[in-house]
Amino acid sequence: MNILVTGANGQLGREMQRLSAVSPNNYTFTDVAELDVTDAGAVRQAVAQTRAEVIVNCAAYTNVERAEEDEEAADRLNRGAAENLARAAEANGATLIHVSTDYVFDGTAHLPYTEDAPTAPLGVYGRTKLAGERAVAESGCKYLTFRTAWLYSEYGNNFLKTMLRLTAEKERLNVVFDQAGTPTYAGDLAMTIFSIVEGGYFAGNEGLYHFSNEGVASWYDFAAEIAAAAGHDKCRIRPCRTAEFPTKAARPAYSVLDKSKIKETFGLEIPHWRESMLYCLKNMLR
């Protein structure tokens, strides 16, 4: 089986590269240097040349703050590229696996969001990601879209790596406690996608799914667990409100995803966020 992966140098793409080393299938990994996913012609050519049967789209514009100032660039990657890949998938009979976000919701819920919950993004990032979801769904291609939240890994820039650095450098640190969600290890999402692709379980199971680790935390809880696990006990972490840190982009206060559908469809057992955080830290600190 031929699998084309875009955004290969990001958090999720790097994890997919690691997993592919044990696969008998043929993976082609691309990032912007190899394939401009905003170029529809280049995408069609790449899908045809690689004879891709599955496309895993890990490419995205993920800078939430900067998106507020550059909606055109965010739209090109989050909607335009998704549409290009979906149309190429449809033309070649491939299945597209697309990754989306909790930011399609406004964060006002008090129960975990199901796949059919009403969407109401608060900013440019969420709007462009939702537009990408819709472009994929309307393309006519076979697809699986995975919404995820609070992604971190050993790679790139993310909250875990930032907190690991700051709690080592500072004696005091303020972290918001009034945003709730689930820290999600990119390695766990990659393993889920990899297992579905390798097992051929994507056939007949097309649609929209939610994936995150188990459990719920605030950013404050997450930061405190990172500091404790790393032994950074000299840093005093203080819980504070979101209002104390005004940002250009409004962020959902509640980002907990209901994972019943993906667990029931694919028989998944998903690790708790704390377990996966400790595993990731162990890899980083050894």
Of 103, 125, 152, 185, the active-site residue reads 125
Is-catalytic flag, 254?
no
Span 198-240, pLDDT tens digits: 999 999 999 999 999 999 999 999 999 999 999 999 999 999 9
For residue 13, pLDDT over 90 is answered with yes
Burial state string for 178-204 with b = 16 or more CB within 10 A and e = fewer than 16: ebbbbbbbbbbbbbbbbebbbeeebee
- Residue 231 is predicted with a pLDDT of 95
At residue 245 the predicted structure's pLDDT band, cuts being 50, 70 and 90, is confident
Radius of gyration, CA atoms only, the chain: 19
- pLDDT of the residue at 248: 87
Which pLDDT tens digit goes with each residue over 142-186? 999 999 999 999 998 999 999 999 999 999 999 999 999 999 999
Cβ neighbors of 274 (< 8 A, separation 6 or more) are: 215, 225
Number of alpha helices (DSSP H) and beta strands (DSSP E) in the chain: 11, 12
CB 185 within 8 A of CB 280: yes
pLDDT above 90 (res 5): yes
Between 219-230 and 273-285, two packed helices, what is the crossing angle to 10 degrees? Answer: 40
- Select the CATH number that applies to the domain covering 2-158+183-215+256-271 from these four: 3.40.50.720, 3.40.980.10, 3.40.50.300, 3.40.50.1820: 3.40.50.720
Location of structure tokens 């964060």: 107
- How do the domains of the chain map onto residue ranges? 2-158+183-215+256-271
